[in-house]
Chains A and B, each alone.
Chain A
């Protein structure tokens, strides 16, 4: 595998990790809201939001890198 593909795969792993953490936090948030613990639920919801933004940024970076490498060579 080329270094570029390995870097792309690693970036995707990092995005997956961020999304898994976001998923875990929203599940905990739901649990706390059901127990009436609004601030604790909100804190976890915001934590999830942070992970989603991080995942979005990393995907964007990866997409830009992909686009940069995909520009066809012109004669």
Chain B
């Protein structure tokens, strides 16, 4: 049986604003004020550090690149975000999804694999590493880093749709992986691909993997918090 949830397409959002928003929405999900909620967005260029980042080994940003660097509370090591990358922050109450953080990460990988399948790309897992890869040779297509508090998730995944992957190797040793190669959906399919083209597949994949029926918050002028079926259900509680 599918559960209702929200999906929001937020456009390009600075990292700090998105992180603050996630933490606050996690509180709202935890309180039962809103159902599971999934944020899709892009970030302006930013390097983020996870809890396992070794800054001295992983960061080698050229001085000319005045890119923002943010320490976060997610798992994993350093990564790069920039326009042309589909960033997904599912804020899910894992009490409704099995209370298993490892399985949650595996499910995110599965959702990513399903997201890129319509582009004739076969995403794969690599033992001992998180994220989704193409082989052979191994090329990283998407990164995953999550945080769970009171069983509510924040952070999520970043899928490289169409961006220059050079910062992953030139600015940082992304994910702490020496000699790793990073790729994008556009590079693999040999044509321009937009984040907007990929996002519906990402929504469908999350719905299938997590048993959710995600209701999009419309972006039309005047649309907002009202006249949403899920809101009516909440109001009736």
Contacts and interface: CB of A to CB of B under 8 A. Distances in A.
A binds B: yes
A43 B19 CA distance: 12
B28 A37 contact: no
B10 interface: yes
Contacts of B9: 39
A14 interface: no
A48 B31 CA distance: 12
Contact of B224 (A25, A42, A49, A51): A42
Interface string B1-39: 000000011110100010011001111111101100101
Contact of A38 (B24, B28, B33, B224): B224
B218 A51 contact: no
Interface string A33-75: 1001111111111111111011001000000000000000000
Contact of A43 (B29, B39, B221): B39
Contacts of B31: 50, 53-54, 57
**Main SS at interface, chain A:** helix
Contacts of B11: 37, 40
Contacts of A57: 31
A50 B224 contact: no
B28 A46 contact: yes
A47 B24 contact: yes
Interface in A16-44: 21, 25, 28, 33, 36-44
B225 A45 contact: yes
B221 A51 contact: no
Contacts, number: 77
B152 to A, nearest CB: 10
B24 A51 contact: yes
B109 to A, nearest CB: 26
Interface in B178-216: none
Contacts of A45: 224-225
A25 B8 CA distance: 16
Interface in B15-65: 17, 20-21, 24-31, 33-34, 37, 39
B233 interface: no
Given A46-B34, A49-B33, A50-B34, A39 B28 contact: no
A51 B217 CA distance: 21
Contact of A50 (B20, B33, B39, B225): B33
A44 to B, nearest CB: 6
B219 interface: yes
Contacts of A48: 24
Nearest to B32: A53
B223 interface: yes
A24 to B, nearest CB: 8
Contacts of A50: 24-31, 33-34
Contacts of A42: 8, 217, 224-225
Given A37-B11, A43-B217, 9 more contacts: A37-B10, A38-B217, A38-B219, A39-B219, A40-B10, A43-B8, A43-B21, A43-B25, A46-B37
